[in-house]
Structure 1
């Protein structure tokens, strides 16, 4: 049940079937010179929509903006602060709870450490605030790597590489402009830098030349399976 597409009576009827909602989080962020800026959001939303075809769950509209640190200097990246992301997450989940939802899966298509630490912080706040809430925070990337290890050829593939290029080639091939180039960022260990693009000029971490639509299809299916298992576990969880 897609929240933005159903009516008020349909929402009320849906609550009799499920109290679970999936909330896709993404970013507007550079993904090399071959993938769209909304890649992360698309991947998170796609797996939520696919799971909603299998079982009764609500799917909230995606959150298109997030925290981007290492890509902040690349053209097209639009980042928000950790404070804004945390407040937005707390507000949205709190109002979904007020509407009767009780199980919340915060699934991020963006794997940035600062971004996801912020979602975890928001989740901890919500656990204290909402006594009947069950909350899971997971990155779509972690599910893809964990489930698709036998499919992925590139060691350490992380951003706009084999995995993500395969996913978009499968789901939205018309948005892929060429195939990109293999690259690994060269940030100095432990040292923060101002000119991030100097150490990561192409914005790719991995090898997009090894991507294929078939790999994307297989990885997406595995991610949906893993997401379904997580939902089932969350719905059965009791503190």
Structure 2
């Protein structure tokens, strides 16, 4: 159930039997010279949409902005603060809760460390605040990497490499502009640097040449299964 496409009466009727919703979080962030800035949002939204085809689940509109630190100096990246991100998730969930939603999955396609921690912190605070809420925060990329062991050839693949290029080749091939050189940046340990692009010039972390649409299809399928299982477990624990 795509929430933005429903009428108020449809939502009211559907809430009688389903109180679960996924909120896709993404980013407007560079993904090398070959993938769109919306890569993270696309992946999270595609998985959420397909999961909703398999289990009763509302899909909220995606949040297109995230906290992006390592890529902040690359062209096209637009970042929001962790404070803004936390406040946004908390406000959305509070409003959903008032509407009658009780099981909420924040599914993020952006895997930045500070971004993930902000969502997790917000989720923990919401659990303390809303007594009937079941809450989960899952990183879509980590589910893909975990589920794809044996399928992904690139060790240490992390950003705009084999996994993400495969995923977009599968779901949105018209947005892929060729490939990009293999790259594995090294940042100084413990040192905070202003010019992050100096250490990561190409914006790729992995090997896009290993990507294929078939790998992307299989990876997406595995992640959808993980998300469906997570939602069902949340529902069981809330009702149990």
Q: Name the counterpart of 2:64.
A: 64
1:82-97 equivalences under 5 Å are 82-97=82-97
Q: Name the counterpart of 2:54.
A: 54
Gapped regions of structure 2 (runs ≥ 5) = none
- CA-CA distance at 1:99 after TM superposition: 0.2
Q: Name the counterpart of 1:207.
A: 207
d(CA) in 1 for partners of 2:59, 2:46: 10
Asked whether 1:130 is paired with 2:138, we answer no
d(CA) in 2 for partners of 1:191, 1:237: 43
Q: Name the counterpart of 2:142.
A: 142
DSSP-derived class of the 2:233 partner:
helix
User: TM-score, normalized by length of structure 2?
Assistant: 0.98
Q: Name the counterpart of 1:8.
A: 8
DSSP-derived class of the 1:125 partner:
helix
Q: Name the counterpart of 1:105.
A: 105
Deviation per CA, 1:3-62: give whole Å up to 9, x if none: 100001100111122110000000000000000000000000000000111121000000
Asked whether 1:24 is paired with 2:28, we answer no
d(CA) in 2 for partners of 1:187, 1:142: 21
* Aligned pairs, number: 239
Q: Name the counterpart of 2:232.
A: 232
Deviating 4+ runs (over 2 angstroms): none
DSSP-derived class of the 2:29 partner:
coil
d(CA) in 1 for partners of 2:113, 2:26: 13
Superposed CA RMSD in Å reads 0.8
d(CA) in 2 for partners of 1:142, 1:73: 24
d(CA) in 2 for partners of 1:17, 1:46: 24
- CA-CA distance at 1:124 after TM superposition: 1.1
User: TM-score, normalized by length of structure 1?
Assistant: 0.99
